[in-house]
Amino acid sequence: MITVHHLNNSRSQRILWLLEELGVPYDIRFYKRDPKTMQAPPALKKIHPLGKSPIVTDDDITIAETGAIVEYILERYGQGRLIPTVGTPERRQFTYWLHYTEGSAMPPLLLKLIFTMLPEKSPFFVRPIVKAISGGVEKQLVDPQLKMHMDFWESELSRSGWFAGPNLSAADIQMSFPLEAAATRADALIGRPHIRAFLERIHARPAYQRALKKGGPYEYANS
């Protein structure tokens, strides 16, 4: 049976949702972030050397990285569900979004989080300087990049409401985290009705709700 090594408030929530959509039985092993650093606990390094979530174990197989986990689950358990047919335009879009999520969408969101946190993590006497520098970097570099990506998502979702064809696919599950994070950190919902509708649609899905109930508190579900 699959075991999801699940870190609270993390990208591993998507794996729970995927498994719920497919109706695949699984166990959850819970891990909590360090309250000061917000980093994953050292215990995750016993499962994978990088100690990052999500990690999935399936018998003697260990898989890390969300995209790789999604591909593994679909190949072994999907039975053709949540993935477009090979050779179709939808399948090419599916592959693109599956890799775009972590390769292009998440880096500016991570930078946004880092530069937002820097001032409060800095010593008091240098905090005003750090705040000014961080704010400048956000305004000149990070925010324009985020706006470009968010406008891209809005345009793509305006076609059919989903990222890879007319129906929900695992590409939508993969893309859910950056959209949720952007709604929380970068005002993604302002002036972007298709992003708002996408999030409302996925949050209402029974499988998403079941994953929330099993996975525990997840702040991005309220975006």
Question: Which of 28-37, 128-137, 159-168 holds the top average pLDDT?
Answer: 159-168
* Residue 36 binned pLDDT confidence (cut-offs 50, 70, 90): confident
Tell me how many helices (H) and strands (E) the chain has: 9, 4
Mean pLDDT for the chain? 92
* Contact predicate 109/186, CB 8 Å: yes
The structure tokens 């950056």 sit at: 178
**Percentage of residues of the chain with pLDDT beyond 90:** 77
Q: Is the pLDDT of residue 123 over 90?
A: no
Tokens encoding 104: 């292009």
**Confidence band (pLDDT; 50, 70, 90) for 119?**
low
The CA-CA-CA angle for residues 88, 89, 91, to 5°, reads 65
With contact defined as beta carbons under 8 Å apart, do 175 and 94 qualify?
Answer: no
175-200 average pLDDT score: 97
What domains can be seen in the chain, in order of their start residue? 2-83+211-219 (3.40.30.10), 89-205 (1.20.1050.10)
Burial environment of residue 98 by CB neighbours within 10 A (0 to 12, 13 to 18, 19 or more): buried
CA-based nearest residue to 41, from 62, 67, 10: 10
Distance, CA of 52 to CA of 33 (rounded, Å): 11
Q: What is the mean pLDDT of residues 10-38?
A: 93
Q: How far apart are CA 13 and CA 212, in angstroms?
A: 8
For residue 130, what pLDDT band results from cuts at 50, 70 and 90?
low
The answer to whether the CB of 89 falls within 8 A of the CB of 120 is no
Inter-residue contact 171 to 18 (CB < 8 Å): no
Distance CA 184, CA 133 (A): 22
Q: What pLDDT digit, counting tens, does each position of 39-94 carry?
A: 899 999 999 999 999 999 999 999 999 999 999 999 999 999 999 999 999 999 99
pLDDT(219) > 90? no
Q: Which two tokens stand for residue 179?
A: 């959209």
